[in-house]
Amino acid sequence: MKKVMFVNSGIIRGDRIETSSFVQSQALSLSHHWEVIWGLTGWDSTSLKSMFLNILKLRELNKNSDLSIVHAQYGSINSFIAMMATKGKPFVVSFCGDDLLGTIQPGIKWRIREAVAKFLSLVTAFAADHIIVKSENIKRALPGIWHRKVTIIPNGVDTSFFRPLDKLDSRKELGLSNGKYYVLFNHSVGNNLLRKNKPLADAAINKVKLHFPEVELLVTGRVPHHQMPLYINSADVVLLTSLHEGSPNIIKEAMASNVPVVSVPCGDALERITDDSIGYVCPYDAEELADKIVLILKDNRSSTGRDSLIKQGLSTEDVSKKIELVYNLVLSK
């Protein structure tokens, strides 16, 4: 079986891998044909000391593993460490959003950090044998001369994990009221808080309350991953108001669960939400977002998102096949 090293932030604790849930899903979906070697760089690899130690660690791992390919799962420092540690191996990098689009934080410190992150991303994009991006807007952030080695592959969704569940049972398990309407807002944590644009979500919900006083914004962020299907299925609507995204996982997870989505036109929202039976894409306007949420609540509707997601080829199984095609293309050169 061929081996691929996944380089990403995270740690190994005993026999448990702690890293991004979508990266773990991707590894699992590839496991029928590829053995994934984990090159995890800790939770904060931004200091020069951490970079140096991670490069040494991955070089040792590379030397002792019969790797066919190296796949950095994020740009910036992560992909730079992967590039420096595994020179001579076929190299693929996936850009996810902030690594090329920037971080929305005020202050000169963040502008410097953003510039360094993008510079390192561009260096590794130049060195990469192939580039995977999650959406068209990320591709446009790369110089056109490199587009020939770019493939757009959004993150896939584990449709056995994210699936329709009974709304009342889900609410009961989470201790939520059956007498309320819930609009789920995936707030995130840390540096992503501003990007998620919660003030717009709050403004929209305040307007929805004029029609449905019992509506509540169900905010996630520090929710354990294994509980996310319960939260999504407890919601009447999933709301996304981000200032920018790549390919928002929450939209696809809601689709897999047949829960309607109301979103602003960020990332690939327009490509995912293709008709009213899935949800609506609205301008960055609280009134319009509220109108669409009210429409869904009045109809008490579910969505047809799951069928559409599968037709769009965004199950983890279908996405793993697309990634394998990239690997095979790189190895054939």
User: 326: helix, coil or strand?
Assistant: helix
The residue type found at 204 is: A
Length, in residues, of the chain: 333
The residue type found at 98 is: D
Structure tokens at 158: 């584990």
Query: What domains can be seen in the chain, in order of their start residue?
Result: 2-156+315-332 (3.40.50.2000), 167-311 (3.40.50.2000)
Per-range mean pLDDT, top range of 22-26, 114-118, 251-255: 251-255
Contacts of 129 (CB under 8 A, 6+ apart): 90, 91, 92, 149, 330, 333
Can you give the pLDDT at residue 192? 60
* Residue spans of alpha helices (H) in the chain: 21-30, 48-63, 76-85, 98-101, 108-127, 136-139, 167-174, 193-196, 198-208, 228-234, 249-256, 269-272, 286-299, 305-311, 316-332
Q: What is the pLDDT of residues 144-188, one digit of tens each?
A: 999 999 999 999 999 999 999 999 999 999 999 999 999 999 987
Dist. CA 287–CA 200, nearest whole Å:
10
Q: What is the pLDDT of residues 86-130, one digit of tens each?
A: 888 999 999 988 888 877 666 677 677 778 888 999 999 999 999
Q: How many helices (H) and strands (E) does the chain have?
A: 15, 13
Q: What whole-number percentage of the chain has pLDDT above 70?
A: 97
Can you give the pLDDT at residue 190? 60
**Between 231 and 17, residue with greater pLDDT:** 231
